[in-house]
Amino acid sequence: MPARAARSATPLGLRLGLALAIPFIAALTVAGTYLGKEVIVCAAWIALSTVGILFVNPVTGIAVMTSGFMLAAYPTVFDSLGALTINNLLGVGFVVLLIGHVLETRDLSFLKVRPIVILMVIGVIFLIGSLYSQSLFPLLQVSRGKRVALDRTDQMGHDFITRLVFLIFYWIFVRSRREIRAIFLTVMFSLFAAVPSALYNWEQGTLISGFRAAASLTSGANPNRLAMICLSEVAFWWYWSRSRPGWLRRLIAYGPIAGAILVVFASGSRSGLLGIFVLGTFLQTGEKQYRVPPYQIALFALIAVVAVLFLVPADSIERMINFTPERHTYGYHSTLQRLDTIYLGLHMMRDHFFSGIGLGNFREVARQVYLDPYFRPPHNSYLWAMTEGGIFAFLGYVLLFWTTWRDIGVVLRLGHRDPEIGFIAAALRVAFVQFMFFAAFADMWLNPICYILIAQVITLRRYVESLPEPVPAAAVARRTRPRLAYAMAS
């Protein structure tokens, strides 16, 4: 049975429920319009349309959810209703599809996928640690900072669960080469939205501290994360330009690459400057066919020099290269507070090595137990995992990322089976390294980028392992030569 037919086939009960929903929402439309609740009526119709689209083509929903996660500010006309966002509506539709998939196929193989299992175990560890923290800190009070609640247990728990479920959706519904490529391009273009956004803000003078560029879209609102996105985009566009022959792609890619490099320097990020060297190292290592030629590296370096000398504000460059700042210089307070946070986190690790302090409790415990005056998050994913989840959660993440890295290696070794997919894997390899590097400077392991990177890698491995080994051209010639000789003789 064709894959599309198998995927669109759903149990009779679900199809009947979808059909009955139409007259129900029609009645709701009449009643809602009469009562002046047009927003609820609109939400109901969008929800029904969303589920209907997902039944026809689930990958469309995955692409929309992915772009929503990447943009980090997906549009919704239901601000007053809070929960009725595009991704939440899609999530409801995918839950229905997942139930139908399991009921019809009796397929629970996604529970055997190693990264999914590891994340489930990490979730259980966080749950146990959070429950234990209630007895560990019985006098802990919920307080508020200047703008946000310091206790983030509920939000981070929600993020962990919903993004794990998204990973399951991705594994089940993204299978073919066309679907894999479509989602990769969705990620590439969605993240790239940060680059023109940052350039526009820069041109308008909307800068952090008067000199640091930041985007209004994606995680690029933070200059350090903006630098990570830009460095990953350099790899995405370069490998995209090499995934198919032709100079047109290469000429198209030079513009986004130049813009991304320019924004890295305009961000004034010291971790971004270090990330440039990480990028150059991993573009020059790995499988030989995926390495960047030296003249390309020289071109990237030339763009960087032009940016530094003629375009980027001097204050951004001064902050970027100032790794041992003195008082009253750029980056002084940032460096001081990050060092204090590391020392504070080490104390937490020593005191709660096995259990951790509970998911989302870092700022509350730091303020109320360790008397930290800054209301700050860990700003370090490794520190975050050790302090909030304990040693077992940290080791779980180490195993998760080691498994992902090995999967990338497998895809690259089998990339000759589908060269375009091999180049996608090479781009993900660089993006994954950048993600792990910047995780030392930001809380990244619950970020959607983490789950989307893992999702792409595990589906790439499944796809390339399903392909046969290509037949060498010499073998094809040997097979066809006798047939050609027989045809000529006859």
Structural domain includes residue 64:
yes
Q: In angstroms, rounded to a whole number, what is the distance separating the alpha carbons of residues 387 and 357?
A: 6
Q: Are residues 400 and 450 in the same domain?
A: yes
The residues facing 69 across adjacent strands are none
Q: Are residues 87 and 120 in the same domain?
A: no
- Closest CA relative to residue 369, chosen from 336, 345, 334, 339: 345
Orientation angle between helical segments 177-192 and 448-466, nearest 10 degrees: 150
The tokens describing 242, both together, are 């090499």
The residues facing 208 across adjacent strands are 212
Structural domain includes residue 336:
no
Boundary residue ending a domain (107, 133, 154) = 107
Q: Are residues 124 and 217 in the same domain?
A: no
Q: What is the pLDDT of residue 26?
A: 64
- Structure-token match 């041109």, residue found: 203
Q: What is the pLDDT of residue 468?
A: 93
Structural domain includes residue 183:
no
Name the phi and psi angles at 208, rounded to 5: -80, 130
Structural domain includes residue 367:
yes
Q: Are residues 157 and 200 in the same domain?
A: no
Query: Quick check: helix, strand or coil at residue 327?
Result: coil
Name the phi and psi angles at 10, rounded to 5: -130, 160
Structural domain includes residue 337:
no
Q: What is the pLDDT of residue 404?
A: 98
Q: Quick check: 256 and 195 in contact, CB under 8 A?
A: yes
Which amino acid type is present at position 490?
S
Q: Are residues 357 and 483 in the same domain?
A: yes
The tokens describing 394, both together, are 């940290």
pTM of the complete model:
0.85
Q: Are residues 203 and 152 in the same domain?
A: no
- Closest CA relative to residue 118, chosen from 457, 399, 359, 409: 399
Structural domain includes residue 459:
yes
> Can you give the residue range of the structural domain that contains 140?
114-173+350-490
Q: Are residues 211 and 313 in the same domain?
A: yes
Q: What is the pLDDT of residue 78?
A: 38
Q: In angstroms, rounded to a whole number, what is the distance separating the alpha carbons of residues 339 and 334?
A: 9
Boundary residue ending a domain (284, 303, 321) = 321
Q: What is the pLDDT of residue 143?
A: 74
Q: In angstroms, rounded to a whole number, what is the distance separating the alpha carbons of residues 148 and 131?
A: 23
The tokens describing 144, both together, are 């508020």
Q: In angstroms, rounded to a whole number, what is the distance separating the alpha carbons of residues 82 and 67?
A: 19
Q: Catalogue the long-range contacts made by 394-398 (C-beta closer than 8 Å, 24 or more residues apart).
A: 396/118, 396/121, 396/122, 396/125, 397/122, 397/445
Q: Are residues 215 and 315 in the same domain?
A: yes
pLDDT per residue as tens, the chain (490 positions): 444 444 444 455 555 555 555 565 566 566 666 666 666 666 666 666 666 666 667 888 888 888 888 876 433 333 444 455 666 767 777 887 788 778 778 878 889 999 999 999 999 999 999 999 989 888 888 776 555 567 789 889 988 998 999 999 999 999 999 999 999 999 999 999 999 999 999 989 888 878 889 888 767 788 999 999 999 999 999 999 999 888 899 899 999 999 999 999 999 999 999 999 999 999 988 888 899 888 888 888 888 888 888 888 888 888 888 776 565 555 556 777 888 889 999 999 999 999 999 999 999 999 899 988 877 889 899 999 999 999 999 999 999 999 999 999 999 999 999 999 999 999 999 999 999 999 999 999 999 999 999 999 999 999 999 999 987 755 545 555 555 555 555 5
Name the phi and psi angles at 142, rounded to 5: -80, 125
Query: Cβ atoms within 10 A of the Cβ of 442, count?
Result: 21
Q: In angstroms, rounded to a whole number, what is the distance separating the alpha carbons of residues 369 and 362?
A: 10
Q: What is the pLDDT of residue 259?
A: 94
Q: Are residues 446 and 484 in the same domain?
A: yes
Structural domain includes residue 182:
no
Q: Are residues 48 and 11 in the same domain?
A: yes
What is the CA 181 to chain-centroid distance, rounded?
A: 16
Q: Quick check: 440 and 378 in contact, CB under 8 A?
A: no
Which amino acid type is present at position 154?
D
155, exposed or middle or buried, with CB in 10 Å at 0-12, 13-18, 19+? middle
Structural domain includes residue 450:
yes
Query: Cβ atoms within 10 A of the Cβ of 313, count?
Result: 17
Q: How many domains does the chain have?
A: 3
Q: Are residues 263 and 363 in the same domain?
A: no
Q: Are residues 226 and 312 in the same domain?
A: yes
SS (H, E, C) 90-129: HHHHHHHHHHHHHHHHCCCHHHHCHHHHHHHHHHHHHHHH
